[in-house]
Amino acid sequence: MQPIDEIRVRLDGDVQKLESRVAGKSAAQAPALASGPEEEGPTPARQFEDLKVRYLGKKGEISGLLRAMGTLPAEERPGFGKLVNELRDRAEALFAALQERIQEMEIAGSLAGSKLDPTLPGYRVPLGSLHPMSQVREEIIAFFQGLGFELAVAPEVDNDWYNFEALNIPPDHPSRDMHDTFYVDDKVVLRTHTSNVQVHYMETHPDQPIRIIAPGFVYRVDNDATHSPMFQQVECLVVDKDISFANLKGTLFLWARHMFGAETTMRFRPSYFPFTEPSAEMDVSCYFCKGTGTVPTGTGTVPAGTGCRVCKQTGWIEIGGCGSVDPNVFGKVGWDAEKYTGFAFGFGIDRITMLKYGIPDISYLTRNDNRFLRQF
C-alpha cells in the first residue's frame, strides 16, 4: 500500500502549495493572475489544471494505481481497490474546493479592475405576460380538455377539398362567397375556418367516437371594428352514436357560463352552414352597450345615447356558428351517416377576447401597444 500513501502525501502537499498561492494574492492582484505576465509563471488557474491532470487524468498517478491492480494477487485486489477509490474521492473533493477558490479570486480581480460597483442595485427587468388572446385561447383549450376533448391541428394553407368540398361546399356553391377567401391558386387556399381539421381528423380516425378541439389561425378578406383579415378560431367536433342538437346546446351553455359568467344572456338563432344541418348562430349580449344597442355613458367624443358600433346597435354579438354535422360530410370521409351523428361549433378567439375584457376595437389586439397590453 506504500504507493498509495506516497501519492496521498504528494497530493496534499501540491494542493496546499497552490492554496497558499491563491490565498496570498489580493483581489487587486487577481487580474494580473488571470492573464499574468510570462515572467510570473503560469497562473493559478493553469497550475490547477496541470495539477488535476497529473493526479486524475487518464494517464495520471491515481489512474496508474488502478491499472496496476492487475499485477496484484486476487486476494489483495479488493482492499487495494477500496483504498484507491478513497484516494480518488479525496482528490476530487480537494480539487473541487480549490477550483471554487480560484474562481472567486478571478471574479474579485475582475471586479477590482473595472468601474462596476457591485454594491449598486441592478436594473429591474420588466416582467411580461401572455397576450390576452393567448390567455383566452389557453383557457378555452383547458376547459374543453377538462371535458375530455382532444387537441387537434391541420394545415393553415390547405387543399380546396379539405376547406370546401369535403365540407359540402362544391365549387359552384353560393356559400363560398360568404367566406371571402384568399386563394393561393385554383386548388389551394388560406383556410377560411378551422373546419378543415374535422375532415383531416375523420379521415385518419374512421369509425370511432370523436371529441376534438382545434384552435388555429384562419384568413378572410374582411376588416372592420369586429373583424380582421387574419384571426384565431377554435373549432370543436363531437361524433358518436345518438348525438343530438340538445347535446350541442348543453355543451355551449356550459362553456358560456364558464367564460362570461352566469349573468351573460345567450341566444340561438337559426342559420345556414353547408356542413351542418340544422345550423344556428350563438350570440351573447354586447358587453359594450350592455345589450341596449346604444352607448349608456359618454366617453370622450362619443356622447351617451350614441348607437353602439361594436354590436351595430343590435345589442348582440355573434360568437360563432354551430349545428349538427350534415350527413353529406360523413359521406365525404367514408363514415356511415346512418350509424353516427355529431355536432360542431366554431368561435372567433379574437371576438371572445373582446367580450371577456371589454375591448371596443379588434385592432387593439394587433397593435402591440404596451399601454394596452400591460393591462393584462
- 63-115 confidence digits (pLDDT tens): 888 888 878 888 888 888 888 888 889 889 998 998 888 888 887 777 676 77
Cell of 77: 485486489
Cell of 274: 353547408
- Based on the fold, state whether residues 186 and 315 are members of the same structural domain: yes
- Based on the fold, state whether residues 160 and 277 are members of the same structural domain: yes
- Based on the fold, state whether residues 140 and 249 are members of the same structural domain: yes
Q: Is 121 within a domain?
A: no
Phi-psi region of 55 (alpha: psi -120 to 50; beta: other; left: phi over 0): alpha
Residue 7 C-alpha from the chain's centroid: 54
Give the contacts of 153 (CB within 8 A, at least 6 positions apart): 197, 214, 216
pLDDT at 31: 47
Give me the chain's average pLDDT, please: 84
Q: Is 138 within a domain?
A: yes
Residue range(s) defining the domain that contains residue 357: 132-373
* CA distances in angstroms from 167 to 36, 155, 260, listed in the order given: 75, 16, 31
- Based on the fold, state whether residues 44 and 153 are members of the same structural domain: no
Q: Is 204 within a domain?
A: yes
Order of all β-strands in the sheet with 183-185: 157-159, 188-190, 183-185
- Based on the fold, state whether residues 173 and 283 are members of the same structural domain: yes
- Based on the fold, state whether residues 225 and 278 are members of the same structural domain: yes
Q: Is 118 within a domain?
A: no
Q: Is 117 within a domain?
A: no
pLDDT at 39: 44
Length of the chain as a residue count: 376
Q: How far apart are CA 337 and CA 332, in angstroms?
A: 10
Q: Is 123 within a domain?
A: no
- Based on the fold, state whether residues 106 and 148 are members of the same structural domain: no
Q: Is 180 within a domain?
A: yes
Per-residue pLDDT of the chain (376 residues; tens, 9 = 90+): 567 888 888 888 888 888 888 877 644 454 444 444 444 567 888 888 888 898 888 888 888 888 888 788 888 888 888 888 888 898 899 989 988 888 888 877 776 767 777 788 888 888 888 999 999 999 999 999 999 999 999 999 999 999 999 998 888 877 676 667 888 888 899 998 899 999 999 999 987 899 999 999 999 887 666 567 888 899 999 999 999 999 999 999 889 888 887 777 888 999 988 899 999 999 888 777 777 888 766 555 556 667 887 788 888 888 889 999 999 999 999 899 999 999 999 988 888 888 888 787 878 888 888 888 888 8
- Based on the fold, state whether residues 50 and 154 are members of the same structural domain: no
- Based on the fold, state whether residues 164 and 220 are members of the same structural domain: yes
Q: Which of 80, 112, 144 is the last residue of a domain?
A: 112
Q: Is 120 within a domain?
A: no
Q: Looking at the 3D structure of the chain, how many domains does it have?
A: 2
